[in-house]
Amino acid sequence: MSIWTLAAMTLAAGGGYLLGSIPFGLVITNLAGLGDIRQIGSGNIGATNVLRTGRKDLALATLVLDAGKAGLAALIFTWLIGTEAGLVAGGAAFFGHCFPVWLGFKGGKGVATFYGTILAVAWPVGVLAALTWIGMALMMRISSLSALVAAAASPIIAYAFGRGDVGILCLFLAAIIYWRHRANIARLLDGSEPKIGGAKA
């Protein structure tokens, strides 16, 4: 790897991380006068916890912005530098969302940002991953399980499309999603994970 390639990848990683680390859920709820979203529900900064404020409009805005920031990072650096830089930037944006330096590295669980990243770097893979989530959600009515299955399926989908580079990125994203969903996995195993629309135990 040349010094210029290394510099380009470093720029993509840094730029992607900074963009991804913008905590839109926290910013939006504060601007709306709802206080610190980290003090309610799960304490998460993502759209699901924003929804617990009762503001569906703010939850939707958070969902779109959290997905969009990673997709934007990937698209910008793909355009500026190339495909590899776009993959690095998208992955770094996802990492920044989950572990933002501004919040003591305590961010969101990354599901919306995961889809934003994959849709930007390989939209057919992103669409099939999203359809996997929808299918699981319709069958099992458990959001976290749907996200975990879709994340696990995404590398397989990417390799089926001949995108080994995207498959490697998906493996990285899926590993972090599973790590961020440790508590959900424990509840799934003991049967206490709530269904979509149900109350959290």
What separation in angstroms does the CA of 54 have from each of 50, 61, 100? 8, 13, 25
Place of tokens 């399926």: 153
> What pLDDT is recorded for position 14?
97
DSSP 41: T
Name, in order, each residue with C-beta under 8 angstroms of 49's C-beta and a sequence gap of 6 or more.
Answer: 25, 37, 40, 41, 42, 43
> What pLDDT is recorded for position 1?
64
The b-or-e profile of 53-63 (16+ CB within 10 A means b, else e) is bebeebbebbb
**Are 85 and 12 in contact, with CB atoms under 8 Å apart?**
yes
> What pLDDT is recorded for position 51?
86
What spatial distance separates the first Cα and last Cα of the chain, rounded to whole Å? 51
- Provide the token pair at 158: 């990417």
Task: Quote the CA–CA distance of 160 and 145 in Å, as a whole number.
Answer: 23
Task: Quote the CA–CA distance of 9 and 143 in Å, as a whole number.
Answer: 34
Query: Mind giving me the DSSP string for 98-131?
Result: HS-GGGTT-----HHHHHHHHHHH-HHHHHHHHH
Residues of the chain with pLDDT under 50: 201
> What pLDDT is recorded for position 40?
83
> What pLDDT is recorded for position 22?
96
> What pLDDT is recorded for position 83?
94
For helices 164-180 and 143-160, the axis angle rounded to 10 degrees is: 160
